[in-house]
């Protein structure tokens, strides 16, 4: 069963792409609702079986939150949300990929064709938070002070092992949030998590990220660092500067999947691995 959720306006919704500029639609080319065209006007569009998804698909092969369609400002990306049954893009397994006019997305018994009209030259540009920090963020885990840098265009944060940052915590949803860049500004979006994502203590559905923001995913906290601040000591800490981003963040990229254990007193295998990589990269005798 397919249910198209109506577009609603509230403070908790994802922002609308300004003026409908470069907005795609998904047309059902196989499955229930054949021929139906569903506009995707927001920066994030969710497809899944959970109430709250823009496109609600009721089928055992469809995960509660299965797919995200994400606008970066110049491109549209489709991202499978670490599902067991997977999504296919042009008949190939999808992790995260750019979709173009005519692209085909398949999940469960449904097939969707992406329709992207040329942008309206007279439509207003999307609003950009000029106070947000540009560039690639690094997440500093509060407690261990390890640094993790997203290695994909869309970074998945959640409990499932297929997430880019996997957190073992019962308060964390299988996929809790996605991290990506919109107009080169880092943003984070809650993907219908059972425990809301918090930024600086406030529940947020969508937020531009700034230097020193604190992201709360369940009981796990990260401080946002951008290149100009990654070497600074954390105020109120133990006075020791955070580790250099060069070796730690590079190692995090190489490891690709980051397994974070939220419960205190548990072993951190990936943190230990990063430390070994850091030591191995140091010149002998140092």
pLDDT band at 150 (very low <50, low <70, confident <90, very high): confident
Percent of the chain residues topping a pLDDT of 90: 59
> For residue range 58-81, what is the model confidence (pLDDT) as tens digits?
999 999 999 999 999 989 999 999
Q: Of how many residues is the chain composed?
A: 286
Sorted by where each starts, the structural domains of the chain and their CATH numbers stand as 23-117 (2.60.200.20), 138-228 (2.60.200.20)
Burial of 242 (0-12, 13-18, 19+ CB in 10 A): buried
Where residue 156 falls (left for φ over 0; alpha for ψ -120 to 50; beta otherwise) is beta
pTM: 0.75
pLDDT band at 285 (very low <50, low <70, confident <90, very high): low
> For residue range 254-269, what is the model confidence (pLDDT) as tens digits?
333 444 444 333 334 4
- Average the pLDDT over 119-145 and give the result: 72
Measured CA distances, 266 to 220, 262, 270, 277 (Å): 13, 8, 12, 21
Average model confidence (pLDDT) across the chain: 80
Distance CA 19, CA 128 (A): 13
> For residue range 79-121, what is the model confidence (pLDDT) as tens digits?
999 999 999 999 999 999 999 999 999 999 999 999 998 766 5
Distance CA 230, CA 169 (A): 27
Question: Taking 90 as the threshold, does the pLDDT of residue 201 lie above it?
Answer: yes
């Amino acid at each position: 069963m397919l249910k198209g959720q109506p577009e609603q306006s509230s403070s908790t919704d994802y922002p609308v792409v300004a003026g409908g500029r470069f907005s795609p639609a998904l047309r059902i080319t196989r499955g229930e609702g054949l021929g139906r065209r569903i506009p995707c006007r927001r920066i994030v569009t969710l497809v899944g079986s959970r109430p709250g998804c823009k496109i609600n698909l009721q089928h055992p092969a469809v995960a509660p939150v299965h797919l995200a369609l994400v606008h970066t400002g110049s491109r549209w990306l489709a991202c499978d949300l670490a599902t067991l049954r997977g999504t296919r893009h042009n008949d190939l397994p999808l992790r995260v990929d750019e979709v173009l006019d005519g692209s085909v997305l398949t999940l469960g018994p449904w097939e969707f064709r992406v329709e992207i009209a040329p942008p309206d030259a007279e439509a207003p540009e999307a609003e950009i938070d000029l106070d947000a920090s540009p560039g690639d963020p690094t997440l500093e885990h509060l407690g261990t002070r390890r640094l993790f840098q997203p290695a994909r265009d869309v970074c998945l944060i959640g409990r499932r092992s297929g997430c880019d940052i996997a957190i073992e915590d019962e308060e964390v949803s299988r996929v809790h949030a996605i991290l990506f860049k919109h107009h080169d500004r880092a943003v984070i979006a809650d993907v219908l998590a059972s425990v809301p994502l918090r930024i600086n203590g406030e529940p947020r559905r969508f937020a531009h990220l700034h230097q020193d923001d604190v992201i709360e995913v369940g009981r796990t906290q990260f401080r946002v660092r951008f290149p100009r601040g990654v070497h600074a000591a954390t105020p109120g800490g133990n006075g020791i500067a955070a580790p250099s981003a060069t070796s730690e963040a590079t190692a995090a990229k190489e490891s690709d999947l980051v397994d974070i254990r939220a419960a205190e007193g548990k072993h951190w295998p990936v943190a230990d691995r990063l430390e070994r990589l850091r030591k191995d990269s140091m010149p002998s005798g140092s």
